[in-house]
Amino acid sequence: MNRKLALITGAASGLGYEFCRLLAADGYDLVMVDRDREGLEQSASKLQQKSGVTIQSYVKDLGRNHAAGELYKEVEDREFDILINNAGFGLYGHFANTDWEIEETMLHLHVLTLTHLTKLFLQKMIRRGSGRIMNVSSMAAFQPCPTMSLYYASKGYMLYFSEAVANEVKGTGVTVTVLLPGLFNTNFARTAAMNSGSAERQEKAANSTVEQVAKKALKGMMKGKIRVIPGFSNKLMVLLPRFLPRNFVLSALRRIQERLRQ
């Protein structure tokens, strides 16, 4: 009997690993993709030992030109039930001063690779008449934020893109879900090049665990929900900017980000 199959990007750690853990427990075979070779090898072998599922891993920097096409070529002969575009990272700083190489990687990863992988998997899933795709955005998608301009803008792209495609594919048997979580504890804050003090402050501000986020996300995706915002307070928070003047929201978010980094 063929087992169900899922591909997860950013699978070496954090939310991506948690998705893999929960899906493996549910009997899914996995394709785990990440740029972190050591982390990926460790995570894949830990999971392999715990579960009886088949795990394949690919070390790939998805922030490079043609990364999605190259990855797809490696796996295109297989039938996927789930694609989770989870890999992502943050960068803090004023846009005039931040490092373009890191930003170019982020834009490739958050925009081009996510979009191309969605297209490639979607076409095959539609031909088959079933499949689930989830794009991991953030509550950051709902408004712009000074000092994290590209991160927020690219997460906003994911929201608009995913919502529109989710509507287009209605009735095909395939669904597209966009996950919009608030803060939860992973390596995210440290990767975002904050000093350790500020990373700790951000970690304290987290209002969900990675397990809670992953469980709600998978449940929502399986139901075919278009948007998943884990946590009641987060659902309220995303409504707030709609009722406040936009310039006020910009200044308030800048103050919050600067305070997190003091």
Ligand X SMILES: NC(=O)c1ccc[n+]([C@@H]2O[C@H](COP(=O)([O-])OP(=O)(O)OC[C@H]3O[C@@H](n4cnc5c(N)ncnc54)[C@H](OP(=O)(O)O)[C@@H]3O)[C@@H](O)[C@H]2O)c1
Centroid of chain to Cα 83: 11
Q: Which is nearer to ligand X, 59 or 222 (CB)?
A: 59
Pairing of strands 29-34, 82-85: unpaired
Reading the block at residue 135, the tokens are 């794009």
Closest separation between CB of residue 60 and ligand X, Å?
6
* Rounded least distance, CB 173 to ligand X, Å: 26
| CB nearer ligand X, residue 8 or residue 122 | 8
* Burial group, residue 196, by CB count within 10 angstroms (0-12, 13-18, 19+): exposed
| 221 to 12, 161, 245: CA distances (angstroms) | 21, 16, 33
**Closest approach of Cβ 119 to ligand X, in Å?**
18
Cβ-based nearer residue to ligand X, 62 or 166:
62
Q: Which residues bind ligand X (CB under 6 A)?
A: 10, 12-16, 34-36, 39, 61-63, 86-89, 105, 109, 136, 138, 181, 183-184, 186-188, 191
Residue 14 vs 131, nearer CB to ligand X: 14
Under a CB-based contact definition with an 8 Å cutoff, are residues 142 and 163 in contact? no
Least Cβ distance, residue 67 to ligand X (angstroms) = 7
Cα 174 to the chain's mean position, in Å?
A: 19
Q: For ligand X, give the closer residue by CB, 102 or 126.
A: 102
Instruction: Provide, rounded to whole angstroms, the least separation between the CB of residue 2 and ligand X.
Output: 27
As given in the structure block, the two tokens for residue 91 are 């960068």
Q: How far is CA 199 from the centre of its chain?
A: 20
C-alpha dist (Å) from residue 252 to 37, 214, 226: 39, 29, 29
